[in-house]
Structure 1
């Protein structure tokens, strides 16, 4: 179980990467949903990553071929190939060490969790049906909302196909830590890249629990009133962006940036080292089946999940309120399998 001491050492040792990264060979990454607004931005950022050899872009939307051609004719970085249509999903994912799935339907004003689950469950179902035969050992990272339900839904599907590996399925929640660092950096008037704030719980408004009492480096601190204010700001950040964009677009740029940062850490692990990533994954240490927090990842997947933190009374209260919500939303994802199985799509 990952300890706070290890987390501190990992993130703030002088070299940061205290395990040497061996030379990478043949790292192929697949982006599912690459024609979406988030997907396009992620693909552009991944084109700049020197650790990736081949970048596969898949989408049901034929415009993915234009995106692929545009990036393929941009100098440097991985070779880029685009795919579309059900028949081309297997070659799109085959041999990829990491498969990333981004939302085809992003968060929108007025959308309920049920609507988001219904919109994004079918694409997740399709990839979960493909992976067992064509790439059962890949890291599978999902950034489709609602994360708290989608991850349990995907795990239940993969379990039905007898290929669920709890160490290689990630719900990407790095956006929460990225926003927490940005808000804290502004409050402290320091560069947020020099800060770390564990964000635990889940990835819905009432389950996001930032631990501002655990700021690293530890010589930084804020008052209780500041912590409560920043927590409220963090929890409503997504809705604020939606409102300011008049509901026509989600936080696509922030999501793409945070997904790219998450993938950078996973690639370090795949290349022979290990990294700390914030993800919603199988974790029973807090009274839930799945839980979001900083987890240690190595070349074979998750090595240690977060297990305990020293918290303020306020943070403990937030977590106590979040746990039953997380359990309810996880159960909603698991239960949704029955609805999908009864549909014509399964």
Structure 2
């Protein structure tokens, strides 16, 4: 029995994400919550012939508490989307408050649930969730994840395009480490399951890295002010949630890049900090998942000098993003 909950279920990411979770046969109960339309989305999904029982809730009558009761996995895509010219950091002022309030509900109702944060900027919103949990005395770094899977999905797709064979997209895997915005996104192309051609021009490689790092901008521009990456993010969120659920149910050997508190694995986390040469509290790295969440944080592995430069370039922004999230919760509201 697995109860999955989507907070922000009526939004551009929330609706397709809820559809994909309803399609997952491992999900036996699906709870949807939003400030509008969640009951309607739930009724719509309830007509789909899969086992999950679906219920939708709104804020009145303790809707947040009701939807979270008994939750095993909580996915948070709630918040406003990115618009043209807007960075993930620009989203912070609005989305930080939304995430803080939802995290408070989880901490008080379902503190043992796995929390999967999609709301941007992930580099800051994951620390917000952690700090809220700390304030309530229920913080477990093994159970809070920043969903960076979209960066992995993009890397796999774009590498397949460079290789000239989109049929490879389901088999190409490229580790992506760091964070989930701009230069903090570091694709380790040297570790791709399908290596790039040795004769590839450096400019092509640089363009590929830039496209992986700023793929979100490509979507925002193409949608011409009508939204950001919603469908691809929903797909990526469902992919990661599926892996968490499989690990929860006892499947072994599941490894996925995800943005976590490095205290989740003290040995692996400390080793990674030494690799980075910086005492960061959060970082996206390949993580082995288990029934209790984070089982092991893996290091960067063998990376090229060029990738080392990319990792070093990511660290200052990451440190600033993390501090912004921590401070948001720690500083009293005026």
TM-score (norm: length of structure 1): 0.87
The alpha-carbon distance between structure 1 residues 227 and 293, as it changes in their structure 2 partners (threshold 3 A), is: farther
Aligned mate of 1:173, from 139, 143, 148: 148
The answer as to 2:55 corresponding to 1:81 is: yes
Residues 206-230 of structure 1: CA distance to partner in whole angstroms, max 9, x if unpaired? 111101000115x665546243221
Helix, strand or coil at the partner of 1:29: strand
The answer as to 2:111 corresponding to 1:136 is: yes
Deviation at 1:338, TM superposition (A): 4.0
Give 4+ residue runs of structure 1 displaced > 3 Å after superposition.
Answer: 112-115, 219-224
Structure 2 residue runs without a partner (length 5+): 263-268
Aligned mate of 2:217, from 234, 239, 249: 239
Give the corresponding residue for 1:281: 260
Residues 28-76 of structure 1: CA distance to partner in whole angstroms, max 9, x if unpaired? 1000000101000001111111000011101111x11111111112222
Give the corresponding residue for 1:68: 42
RMSD of aligned Cα (Å): 1.6
Aligned mate of 2:299, from 294, 298, 307: 307
Residues 295-323 of structure 1: CA distance to partner in whole angstroms, max 9, x if unpaired? 11100110011223211111110111111
For residues 72 and 239 of structure 1, what CA distance do their matches in structure 2 show? 34
Give the corresponding residue for 2:7: 32
Give yes or no for contact 1:30–1:100 (8 Å, CA) kept in 2: yes
Residues 139-198 of structure 1: CA distance to partner in whole angstroms, max 9, x if unpaired? 001000001111112111211111111000000000000000000011112311111100
* Larger RCO (CA under 8 A, 6+ residues apart): 1
TM-score (norm: length of structure 2): 0.90
Aligned length: 315
The alpha-carbon distance between structure 1 residues 242 and 118, as it changes in their structure 2 partners (threshold 3 A), is: same
Aligned mate of 1:127, from 91, 95, 102: 102
Aligned mate of 1:188, from 154, 160, 163: 163
Residues 243-277 of structure 1: CA distance to partner in whole angstroms, max 9, x if unpaired? 11112111111111111111111111011113112
For residues 71 and 247 of structure 1, what CA distance do their matches in structure 2 show? 28
Structure 1 residue runs without a partner (length 5+): 1-25
Give the corresponding residue for 1:3: none
The answer as to 2:184 corresponding to 1:207 is: yes
For residues 132 and 154 of structure 1, what CA distance do their matches in structure 2 show? 9
Residues 262-295 of structure 1: CA distance to partner in whole angstroms, max 9, x if unpaired? 1111111011113112211112423211001221
For residues 120 and 59 of structure 1, what CA distance do their matches in structure 2 show? 14
Give the corresponding residue for 1:292: 284
The alpha-carbon distance between structure 1 residues 103 and 128, as it changes in their structure 2 partners (threshold 3 A), is: closer
Give the corresponding residue for 2:333: 342
Give yes or no for contact 1:51–1:267 (8 Å, CA) kept in 2: yes
Helix, strand or coil at the partner of 1:213: helix
